[in-house]
Structure 1
Amino acid sequence: MIAEKYKQMLGQKSVIREIAEYGAERAKEIGSENVFDYSLGNPFVPVPQAFTNKLVELAQSPEPSTVHGYSPSLGITSVREKIAESLNRRFHMGYRKEHIFMTTGAAGAIAHALRAVTTAGDEVLTFAPFFPEYTPYVNQTGAVLKVVPPNTDDFQINFEAFEKMLTAKVTAVLINSPNNPSGVVYSPETIQKLAQLLQEKEREFGHEIYLISDEPYREIVFKGVEAPYIAKYHPNSITCYSFSKSLSLPGERIGYVAVNPACPDAELIVNMCGQISRGIGHNCPPSIIQLAVAEVADMTADLSVYETNMNILYDALTDLGFSCVKPGGTFYMFPKALEEDAVAFCKKALEYDLLLVPADSFGCPGYFRMAYCIPTEKVERSLAAFRKLAEAYKKEGIH
């Protein structure tokens, strides 16, 4: 008999993927240059040349077993050492290789982190707006995801709602900053308040509350915005990272878990991750990619185009009457739709070949997400379509 729960999930496909698939079909009809696809967060900037050079060097290695063989279950030792050293240089931490576990991207990192610190029936809190895949990430572990309602004024944490939901059942809080979908970066004050509250509740409840920090956009932060390194604020913190955005390598599926050295069970958790891999099939990410990213762990691709695109879109859309909290990072923008029903709004936008994602599944109805990781010239050409869309709503008297 087939597994019924996965069969049921077929009816709950990702709206982001569905819109992207529509865009691919529409591009066959009118040309991809005429489809303004803001649906999928797929980086497009070139990878650093140093990464490519290292990859070529490795591919030509006379020792294929080193490059193409299985890595140790926790990751290649030299890679874990280099990542620990990089984190220490940049964020003044005390990581050692024993605190690092290599994974297949941030998704793989979160999959391990959740299983290491939750058991069936535990609650995991996250903050709206949130990445929709958090729901299966958490619920498939046997734990239960609970979503804290958004603070739509600035998309910082809604602490009043959070404190009410932070009960003894909560064993982990899953945080994402810089945030997908809002582009907002949680301020040092927000993170400090969050950490203090978690530590107070740990003492009250008599058990750890782990702060799982999902950080694939950590390096995409705009001028004048301070992005705190979240693990510095809470000892029981687990950082989940991906090189997909910083190095523009989403298809290579490489990332890591970094457990705060101040966490009493840090080394135990990393070793547990190796055992968790045995059950979920996430073990041994590609050796050649581990070795290549280790050489450029301090580097990023040229990410400046994202801030350029953000400023163009933010200025244009607010001029057209859209309400939007200005992003502090990532390559996402999260405006309010021009009608209450964001699904209907995004459907209407398709008439102008604008592919936008309604935010109902992000826990924030009435908003839509734009992934502006596309060439700047295409961003500029899309503005006419946004203008026509806004004018259509004005004519209908809705906006």
Structure 2
Amino acid sequence: MSGLPEGLVRMGRHRNVMREIREHGLLRAKEVGAENVLDFSLGNPSVAPPAQVDDTIREILAGPEAASIHGYTSAQGDQAVREALAASLTRRFGMAYRAEDLYLTVGAAAALCCVFRALACPGDEFVLLAPYFTEYDVFVRGNGGTPVVVPPDYETFQPDLAALAKAVGPHTKGVVVNSPNNPSGAIYPAETIEKIAGILREKEAEYGHPIYLISDEPYREIVFRGYTVPWLPAFYDDTIVCYSYSKSLSLPGERIGYILLGEKVAEREDLYAAVCGAGRVLGYVNAPSLFQRVAAACDGLTADLEVYQTNRDLLCGGLREMGYTCVEPGGTFYLLLKSPEPDAKAFCRRAQELDLLFPPADDFACPGWCRIAFCTSTETVRKALPLFKKLAEEYGLEAKA
């Protein structure tokens, strides 16, 4: 008996699989050279932020706010920043938002943790649509909830709506939707969102309490040609949006995002207060002051995302020609590759022997698949294709003409 929380000790020892592989890659780079390690493990954007990000930082640091910019803001975020973001969201999505609807956070992870902590009462459940980001399970359990996993349609990685309807029960407090999806890149079309909303409205009426749709949206703007991302609050009133600028603006290390609670959300005033209380309990104090201002100035902009389209097309086309199975992502910079053997971990270890690094998707609730993060240079993708071909030949995959 150590006298320490066993769950936290276990989580600390069982590291996030992507970061473990990333650390291995950094060590290998010192041995064989970084150019010889083809790392597709971590969702770290490979393109620079838009020029307006740096321009905004320079303007702030040279302007009248420079002396105070690094000080505390209001816990929920600077008032002027929230007003600017509300105006931007109103303009972009055609629904009226106010500063009071926004709570600025330390990225989407903090947004989700605040939401789960604000919502979870003893015995409450949160439905997770697989495949899902590895940390959802940690965030839900760590903030007092119980995760309930719904498997997808493995042909498309779209939600299994019949399974979702069965999973939503009297103890369901929320359903987490991540579209575009990490790790599959799948986008849930408007028709699917309408059906999810219909299921939740029926369940709300049946059980007599709100069931929140928690929309995790860090990849909202990373969308490939031919795809669109529906705005979920337009389909379901009890939607809570959790957003991050990490991917759209290529700012993952700066940790800036928000929670959006529109005026139609059930028990909105108490829920907003609970979110504020969760931020206090979790010790976030306030989101980074400088990058609150950057977010306000740059909301709706993106980095140059064309390289992700190029990389996706190269990978999907090349892997399929080699005989691999993968489902074309509609957004993000990830794709799921079906392991040519049942044990995806073993396949990833074999790839690692070739200094081709990517994680198995077991921790994403998708055993038998691997996640490829193609937020790399196109040169890295081109260098990786012959190694994927070597593996395909080893496993006896039949190349397609």
Q: Which residue of 1 aligns with 2:311?
A: 309
Contact kept? 2:323, 2:397, Cα under 8 Å = no
Could you tell me which residue of structure 1 aligns to residue 264 of structure 2?
262
**How far apart in 2 are the matches of 1:20 and 1:256?**
27
- The more displaced of 85-94 and 246-255 is 85-94
How far does residue 283 in structure 1 lie from its aligned partner after superposition?
A: 2.1
Aligned to 1:216: 218
1:20 alignment counterpart: 22
Q: Distance in 1 between matches of 2:267 and 2:88?
A: 22
1:362 matched residue in structure 2: 364
What is the match of residue 55 of structure 2?
A: 53
Contact 1:342 1:365 in 2 (8 A): yes
Q: Deviations over 1:277-315 (max 9, x none)?
A: 111011211111101121111211111111110000000
Asked whether the 8 Å contact 1:241–1:257 carries over to 2, the reply is yes
Aligned equivalents of 2:292 and 2:308: distance in 1? 26
2:330 to 324, 328, 331: 328
1:102 aligns with 2:104: yes
> Deviations 1:185-235 (Å, cap 9, x if unpaired)?
011111110001101110010000000000000000111112101121111
Cα-Cα RMSD: 1.4
Post-superposition offset of 1:64: 4.0
Q: How does 1:175-254 map to 2 (within 5 A)?
A: 175-254=177-256
In the alignment, the residues of structure 2 paired with residue 149 and residue 395 of structure 1 have an alpha-carbon distance, to the nearest angstrom, of: 27
SS of 2:58's partner is helix
The yes-or-no answer on 1:155 pairing with 2:157 is: yes
1:296 paired residue number: 298
Structure 1's unaligned 5+ residue stretches are none
Distance in 2 between the 1:210 and 1:89 partners?
24
Match of 2:381 in 1: 379
Deviation of the 1:271 alpha carbon: 3.0
Gaps of 5+ in 2: none
Distance 1:360 1:378 in 2: 25
- CA shift, 1:5, in A, is 2.3
2:177 maps to amino acid: I
SS at match of 1:394: coil
Task: Tell me if 1:164 matches 2:166.
Answer: yes
What residue in structure 1 maps to residue 143 of structure 2? 141
Aligned-pair CA distance for 1:89: 1.1
CA contact (8 A) 1:341 1:366 kept: yes
The offset of 1:65, in angstroms, is: 4.9
- What do the CA deviations read for 1:238-294 (whole angstroms, capped 9, x no partner)? 000000000000000000000122214334322332222111011211111101121
Confirm or deny: 8 A CA contact 1:26 1:35 kept in the other structure.
yes
Give the Å deviation of 1:57.
1.7
C-alpha contact 2:210 2:266 (8 A) present in aligned 1:
no
Say whether 1:352 aligns with 2:354: yes
Return the alpha-carbon distance in structure 1 between the equivalents of residues 278 and 66 of structure 2.
28
Q: Quick one: distance in 1 between partners of 2:195 and 2:67?
A: 48
Detail structure 1 runs of 4+ shifted over 4 Å in the superposition. Answer: none
Residue 151 of structure 1 deviates from its aligned partner by: 1.0
TM-score by length of 2: 0.96
Shift of 1:372: 0.4
1:153 Cα deviation from its structure 2 partner: 1.3
Matched AA of 1:115: R
How far apart are 1:61 and its partner, in Å?
A: 3.2
